[in-house]
Amino acid sequence: MNNKEFKWCGYNWSVSMEGGRLIHPQYTHQWYDKECVNILSDGTLELSVKQHPTVIEHWDGFTYYPQIGVGTIMSKESFGVGRFSALIQLPKGCNLWPSFWLTGVETWPPEIDICEAWSNKKGSYFRMFIPQFPYLSPSWKTTTNFHYGDSEETHEWAGTRNISIFKQCHNPSDTFIRYEVERHYNKLIYKVNDRTVRIINNVEHTSGIKPMTVIFNIWTEDMDYTYQTPMLIKEFRFESYL
């Protein structure tokens, strides 16, 4: 990727976040590196991680010295109510943090996390959760969430929820899986491979008329990580409900 802006799946994208920023001031060990974004010959988007120290002059007036370059892209277009979907194969490695999510253009929140995933220290996204013996609830650490409120000061969230292995039957780092959300004015419907995994009802705070942008990223939780294979996205689709 020679440029910070490019076209993919019919939309324009930037290797940066809002305002063109290249770093998150809470995760200063990494930065959004165009060398970690690549489009393969078949059109698949590849997001990777690499050791790539640099210097970032951030808009908060501080200078940061991140050591890790990470693949992060944000849509130049904004979207309203509709269906957002993508075919994704998650990266392999330890303590990786790949995501597919939406964020508000004018304010934060809203934020809609369609697939926010974490690989553990063994390099797996699998989690065997035991809420109360002898009941088991095996799931993948591929989660959904929703952040809402009028401002950061009034921020609330619906809570992270893991996706059951009975809904997502295959290892998400071994195959492509379709993750999607149907964004209505007062409801969010999350699906995995066309199976409904979560519904959030009566959510006027979804602010359905507020424009949102789309983000794909692979981050690391900290410096203690390993990286084996990239995050692959075969396609992104948006179907407007207007």
Would you place residue 145 in the very low, low, confident or very high pLDDT band (cuts 50, 70, 90)? very high
The listed CATH number (1.20.1560.10, 3.40.50.10800, 3.40.50.720, 2.60.120.200) that belongs to domain 5-240: 2.60.120.200
- What pTM was estimated for this model as a whole? 0.94
Would you place residue 131 in the very low, low, confident or very high pLDDT band (cuts 50, 70, 90)? low
Digit-coded pLDDT (tens) for 88-101: 999 999 999 999 99
- Report pLDDT for 186: 86
Contact 52, 34 (CB under 8 A): no
- Report pLDDT for 178: 98
Q: Nearest to residue 215, comparing CAs of 82, 119, 78? A: 78
Element (H, E) at 141: strand 135-148
- Give the largest Cα separation in the chain, rounded: 54
Digit-coded pLDDT (tens) for 164-175: 998 999 999 999
